[in-house]
Amino acid sequence: MSLSSLFQETRAVSQFSQKQIPQELILNILDEATWAPNHQNREPWHVIFITSETKQKLSQNLTKENDHQLKAAIAHSSVCLIITSKMSQDVHITNEDFAAVCCFIQNIQLLAWANQIGMTWQLDDYKDIQSLIDIQQDERIAGILCLGYFDELPKKNLVNVESQIATW
């Protein structure tokens, strides 16, 4: 699969089959994803692998009105990961690190897709679950990732790039 095809075909998936992802494959994907660009090689990401028991607690502690889709994705995913980003006293470093973590997450999604695994990435203010999973004070959640094999390919909404380009 070409890189261009990978970009064009990858999409968010939140409906998963029952087929389990082998742990070795997830570890390989995470290992390869670390090639994400990151300033001064800080590798500011922290990966938290959510077990089946914790998935239930996590879902119960998501309290926002619009969390029902995320709760369903967590419940039906083969793998649930929480990715955090380091925070610094220096806002510039915090922003650089968050951008690097987003690149890391994008790499996870592309590498998963190349292995016929779908992923949904949710980002919100998840302060209500930080203590549940012992996230450190100097970290913020950059995403809750739900991964799994899928039976049905979701429709991809295409965006007209020209409509997003400003000319000065």
Reported as a single tens digit per residue, the pLDDT across 53-67 is 888 888 877 877 667
CATH (one of 3.50.50.60, 1.10.10.10, 3.40.470.10, 3.40.109.10) for 47-145: 3.40.109.10
In SS3 terms, the chain reads as CCHHHHHHHCCECCCCCCCCCCHHHHHHHHHHHCCCCCHHHCCCEEEEEECHHHHHHHHHHCCCHHHHHHHHHHHHCCEEEEEEEECCCCHHHHHHHHHHHHHHHHHHHHHHHHCCCEEEEECCCCHHHHCCCCCCCCEEEEEEEEEECCCCCCCCCCCCHHHHCCCC
Q: What percent of the chain has pLDDT over 70?
A: 99
Q: Assess whether pLDDT exceeds 90 at residue 81.
A: yes
Reported as a single tens digit per residue, the pLDDT across 121-149 is 988 877 777 778 878 889 999 999 999 99
Q: Assess whether pLDDT exceeds 90 at residue 157.
A: no
